[in-house]
Amino acid sequence: MPDWTYHPLRGAAAALLGERRSQRTALRLLASIGSRPGGARLIARGFGHRHPPRRLAGEVAGVPVAVRLGVSVPPALAHETVRAMPPLGAGVVEVGPVSAADVGTVRRAAAGRAIPLVVRTADPQARAGLAPHVDGFTGDDDPRLLRVSDPSVSSAAAALDDPEAVVLARPSVLVSAGPGWFARVTEAATPTGPAPGLKDAGPDPRRWPAWIWGLLVGLGMTVAGLGAAAITLGPVLLWYDRDYLGMSVHELHAANHHLVHFIQHDRITMAGTMVAIGALYTGLAVGGVRQGWSWAREAYLVSGAIGFPTLFYFLATGFVEPLHTATALVLFPMFVAGVRRAPHTPRWRAVPEGPERERRRALVGQLLLIVTGSGLFAGGAVISVVGLTGVFVPTDLTFLGTSGQALEAVNDRLVPFVAHDRAGFGGALMSAAVAITLVSLWGWRRGEAWVFWSLAVAAAAGFLPAVVVHGAISYTDFVHLAPVYLGIVLTATGLLLARPYLCARRSDG
């Protein structure tokens, strides 16, 4: 389990299963997933774990390890630990103390291991029985092995400054801190440099770094969204809309008094979503990619890979919007330039650990934002499907006071026109939702204020126009707006809980 489910839900799990059983269940679940083909990679990527820096490599008992950070467990926990810890960022597992009676248990645990397994034993018989099956042996008197019971991330990171030191967490550390402890220590021990600024980019676009292009896409999306809102609140229809429909705004209003307002409500929500995407992309570029976070580039890539192909919804609706197409054609090359290579040099600023209570509250906020993002993605998928098939939901037709067949009788291009707007909004919502989910999943770190502000601005841009436009046109059906209200409550609660943690300063440690 990641920290954002482990800590918020551990009380409920302990009440349901008992504290010790719930801990073993979580360990067994991770071990079960990690032991399956692709499972370890799924956990590592899902938790946002990346390759540790080379300076953290070393050796334990003469065995090379990718990171001098691991766990020391008794034989009873060895089997699950060997399979659960590697995806979480551990570089070695120590099992001990081991006696001759534990040889069979350790042998079974060592089978199929992904990282080195060393054994701490003073029993010559156990040593002889395990020598062919494990990677090495340790003792209690090796000063290079630091078996820690303190969950302090900064203390463990400071210990790793010694290139000979190996930090081994006891089970109590992971029980207290959560499964993300290894990744947090690895990041704290990673040397970083200053983040570049605009002046460092230079005047030649061919030499601009990826984050500059990502910033331009974010700003472009924001401007496009504001432009779409201005058109919707002004003329509503542009010349190509009128040419496609063969109708003016006045003629649409004459056909159905609610129809123009309905089109405006679809387009305003779409415009707000575009501004939200712009805020998220700007944050990912400036706060994420610029600071060397490789996960930020991946979040940006996945979101864009969902959003840009929705341009081809016209194949189903039959309506090609020139301005939408032109915007996509201008921004897509910039998007490609923004994701063409992953950042390699860490340039984030280190913020000291704060109160554990502050982090625990922030983890509840993280869980709420991930749930919100996932819900928005599901909602976007449903809206896309509806837009490409039935177009209207029952509450739409109640508001319009008509039926789809009646609208087709007025103009056989009217329903495809509405379908284009609706499906496009669904695609944009999915793109924004993926960015929200991945920023919340991978970017939740103390002092990363850009995460808070990116999500807050995106929420304001996405939710507020939707609520205001529905109220303005008197489309206030509670069932229709319930997902919006729920999203506002979850987002506001999550951000309020996380604000002290995400917006912490270096002096707040």
| pLDDT, tens only, 22-31 | 888 888 888 8
The arithmetic mean of pLDDT across residues 458-470, rounded, is 97
- pLDDT-derived band at 7, boundaries 50, 70, 90: confident
| Contacts of 124 by beta carbon, 8 Å cutoff, 6+ apart | none
- CA–CA gap between residue 53 and residue 91 (Å, rounded): 12
Q: What residues does 117 pair with on adjacent strands?
A: 93
Is pLDDT of 509 > 80? no
| % of the chain residues with pLDDT over 70 | 98
176-to-16, 23, 357, 366 alpha-carbon distances in Å:
19, 11, 12, 18
* Cα end-to-end distance, the chain, whole Å: 27
pLDDT at position 186 is 92
Distances (CA, A) of 314 to 238, 265, 311, 318, 403: 18, 20, 7, 5, 23
pLDDT for 441:
95
d(CA 496, CA 509): 19
Percent of the chain with pLDDT over 90: 74
- pLDDT tens for 162-197 read 999 999 999 999 999 998 999 999 999 998 888 888
Q: What average pLDDT does the structure give for the chain?
A: 92
**Crossing angle between the packed helical segments 322-339 and 294-307, to the nearest 10 degrees:** 160
N residues, the chain: 509
What integer pLDDT is reported at residue 401 of this predicted model?
Answer: 94
Phi-psi sector, 219: left (phi>0), alpha (psi -120 to 50), beta:
alpha
| Low-confidence winner among 17-21, 244-248, 327-331, 385-389 (lowest mean pLDDT) | 17-21
Positive/negative CA dihedral, 370, 373, 377, 378 = positive
Under the banding of pLDDT at 50, 70 and 90, the label for residue 130 is very high
Both structure tokens of 505: 């300063």
Please state, in angstroms and rounded to a whole number, the distance separating the CA atoms of residues 492 and 368. Answer: 9
Q: Select from 143, 190, 192 the least CA-distant residue to 49.
A: 190
509 vs 503: CA distance, rounded Å: 12
Provide the pLDDT for residue 20: 83
Confidence grade of residue 312 (pLDDT, cut at 50, 70, 90)? confident
Q: In this structure, what token pair is assigned to residue 99? A: 């006696």
Looking at the DSSP assignment, which residues form a beta bridge with residue 69? 167
Using omega within 30 degrees of 0 as the cis cutoff, is the peptide bond preceding 97 cis? yes
Q: Is it the case that residue 295 has pLDDT exceeding 70?
A: yes
Non-local (6+) Cβ contacts of 28 within 8 A are 80
* pLDDT surpasses 80 at 1: no
Q: pLDDT band at 49, cuts 50/70/90?
A: low
Question: What's the pLDDT at 506?
Answer: 67
What is the number of other CB atoms lying within 10 angstroms of the CB of residue 9? 17
Rounded Cα–Cα distance for residues 339 and 300 (Å): 8
Q: Where are the alpha helices (DSSP H) in 120-179?
A: 124-130, 153-159, 171-177
pLDDT band at 507 (very low <50, low <70, confident <90, very high): low
Residue pLDDT, tens place only, 190-233: 988 888 888 888 888 888 999 999 999 999 999 999 999 999 99
Interval 92-102 mean pLDDT:
95
What is the reported pLDDT for 376? 97
pLDDT at 219: 97
